[in-house]
Structure 1
Amino acid sequence: MFRSKLSRRGLLRVGGATLLSAGAFGALTARQATAAVPTSKRFDLSRPSYDVFRGVLLHEKHHAMQGMAFDAENRRLFISQVRDGSSGDDLCINRLDESGEVTGRMHIDNAGHGVSIGVEPNGSDSYVWIECDSDSNDDSGRGTALARFKFVDGAKPSGVKKFFTGSKTITCATDPVNKRILIRRKESGKFTLRLYDFSSMDIENGTFTDELAKITQPKLGDGSVTFQGYTVLGSYLYTLDGDGHADPAGINSYVTSVDLNTGKVVERFLTKAGKSLVYREPEGMAITRTSGGEVRLAFGFASRTSVGDIDRYANVFHKNVLV
């Protein structure tokens, strides 16, 4: 279990088909879904949220956290962020231990934005899944494929395998309980999500077979929300949206659950977790399971010590009630 962790600076402020190409699929209509995912329990989003940690300064001190993913077997958390001094699409992957300390990092050039990432445990190793081959060498750059590689502290990615090449705005999230990966990308102008078992992965050919679910991302709120992350557990997609704000009265961060078998929103809830954080901005979601077996829905917020502070801190919270 991660425990509350405050840096000295933090204390000052806290007081089937083979899939390769994006063009290989036809358009989907709103709410269209094809799925056969065994029905699972879902998180009750109205229940309280609890701290995982607050006030953690990541390797790239001046950029906010983005996506995150847990290696629940090896008790590790990985968090992506844009690299300090980069043109906007170069990323850093931080590795954290269970105390919330950063224990390693890797740099990935020309990757994208890192809104959501995945991790796949393999024995004592962790394999990272992240967008790559950005379509633009600036802040607007987004991945056109997914890269899979072993995390090695301080090293550049090697032995990289690429999946879903030729995609548009592709990211992923992983389900560590059911050993699955969820792919999100634009298809015919709409964000589409496709779910696979890791057991259907062909590493050498960079493909998946036996698709479990396919949905068009449903409308969230009034449709003009700022999408900030997503994850998957069993037969449910979870999303995080909202904007950064200096005033707690401006909180508009929502967590939402979506049924992967129907493509419909099940629950949408305004979360005020970490409401005392300065310039609190929602960033990233992930599923984990504690060493005691409790399954948790984690979601993050970037923050500062003051609105003008150049440093950005990572803060993670969780919900743990399944219904």
Structure 2
Amino acid sequence: MNHPSGFPLTRRGLIRAGAGVSLAALGLGVGAQTASAAVAATKRFDLTQPSHDLFRSKDTHGARVQQSFAFDWVNKFLFVATKRSGSTEADGDLCINKMDFAGNYISYMHLNGFGHGVAFAALPDGSGTELWIECAANTKGFGTALAPIPYMANTTLGSPAASAAYRPISGATEYTCSVDPVYQRMIVRYHTSDGKRIAVFPLSAFQTRNFGAPLVDFKQPAIPGTPQGYTLYGSYMYYLTGDAYPEPGVPVGDGNSYLTSVDINTGTVKQGPVLTKAGSTLHHREPEGLAVYRTDAGESRLFLGFATGVEGDRRSSIFYKNALV
């Protein structure tokens, strides 16, 4: 399989906020409620086209299900977030598994008290990787800010306080994010008293820690099903829903894993929900995570993940779609 193409990111001249400095203290984090600029229209993935295997049933450091995954597209590594063994849903404890693109496990990092792990980003940082991930989990186990965490193999890190992390949308109470490495943008899904909203920033805003107003900011459209991941490619957001299948006593069928695309310039559904049968023969097939990268040959791919395997020995399975329209 081809590898993602590199987009070397220079760290020269980047603004780095101190670990104990809050976003408010820096004067950042504008609470924009409308788009400040339109995003140029791009092609989108045709969700009705077949999916292809990246790998199936690969082992991770822990025994619990994966939650999401992200590509370091320069250093050519895959990071898979799983729930920590022995932790409750409310604890917000995650295990980040570093893997190669064949699904071979390399190392782990434990993140205690960070969040649910529905989405995160893995940004190249020289020869290392900087994880942008939710942190400071609330009583329900969801992160209340975003933190840049250098990946450090075989270590355990406790979450920073929300005041020592980043809250790019004023007034939001929960955050997650995902990166578009092709168009160099970051998508943020955040929670307010009015429900879930979506904001898109230039990737440089996260590299410099200088956020300003998002490119677009809209209320997430109503999409049925259990949310299991999202990501961004160009001018479209992709959203994954569904539940584990087959469950004991339930006849084997098509399951309920669906993909939906959303036009981020209008905030409306473009395609879907579209049923996906990727990995339909796998045991305990639970949709978990979306991500994008582009191969060295220039092919853009939308990846969708599933937690699979028996209880006590859950595995990671990842597929992709590559048809653009």
Q: Normalising to structure 2: TM-score of the pair?
A: 0.83
Change (3 A) 1:245 1:35: farther
Kept after mapping to 2: 8 A contact 1:226/1:243 = yes
Structural RMSD (CA): 2.4
Distance in 2 between the 1:162 and 1:50 partners? 38
Count of matched residue positions in the alignment of Structure 1 and Structure 2: 291
Change (3 A) 1:201 1:310: closer
The residue aligned with 1:10 is none
The residue aligned with 2:256 is 252
The residue aligned with 1:46 is 48
> In the alignment, which of 259, 275, 278 is matched to residue 273 of structure 1?
278
The residue aligned with 1:122 is 125
The residue aligned with 2:16 is none
Kept after mapping to 2: 8 A contact 1:298/1:316 = yes
The residue aligned with 2:29 is 20
> In the alignment, which of 295, 298, 302 is matched to residue 290 of structure 1?
295
Unaligned runs of 5+ in 1: 4-17, 27-31
Change (3 A) 1:86 1:259: same
The residue aligned with 1:133 is 136
> In the alignment, which of 266, 273, 285 is matched to residue 262 of structure 1?
266
Structure 1: which 4+ aligned runs deviate by more than 6 Å? 158-161
Distance in 2 between the 1:169 and 1:278 partners? 32
Distance in 1 between the 2:101 and 2:2 partners? 5
Change (3 A) 1:19 1:216: farther
Could you tell me the percent identity over the aligned residues?
Answer: 41
The residue aligned with 1:9 is none
One-letter amino acid of the counterpart of residue 90, structure 1: D
Using the TM superposition, give the Cα deviation of residue 261 of structure 1 relative to its aligned residue in structure 2, in angstroms: 0.3
Q: Aligned to 2:278, what secondary structure does the other structure show?
A: coil
Distance in 1 between the 2:2 and 2:270 partners? 29
Kept after mapping to 2: 8 A contact 1:174/1:182 = yes
Using the TM superposition, give the Cα deviation of residue 128 of structure 1 relative to its aligned residue in structure 2, in angstroms: 0.4
Using the TM superposition, give the Cα deviation of residue 201 of structure 1 relative to its aligned residue in structure 2, in angstroms: 3.8
The residue aligned with 2:243 is 243
> In the alignment, which of 313, 317, 320 is matched to residue 318 of structure 1?
320
The residue aligned with 1:81 is 82
Distance in 1 between the 2:195 and 2:216 partners? 16
Matched, 1:179 2:179: no
Kept after mapping to 1: 8 A contact 2:111/2:159 = no
User: For each residue in 1:180-235, what CA deviation from the matched residue of structure 2 results, as whole angstroms up to 9, or x when unmatched?
Assistant: 111101122311111111223474xx441242111111111xx4x10000000111
Q: Normalising to structure 1: TM-score of the pair?
A: 0.84
Q: Which moved more, 1:103-112 or 1:34-43?
A: 34-43
Matched, 1:98 2:107: no
Distance in 1 between the 2:206 and 2:158 partners? 19
One-letter amino acid of the counterpart of residue 81, structure 1: T
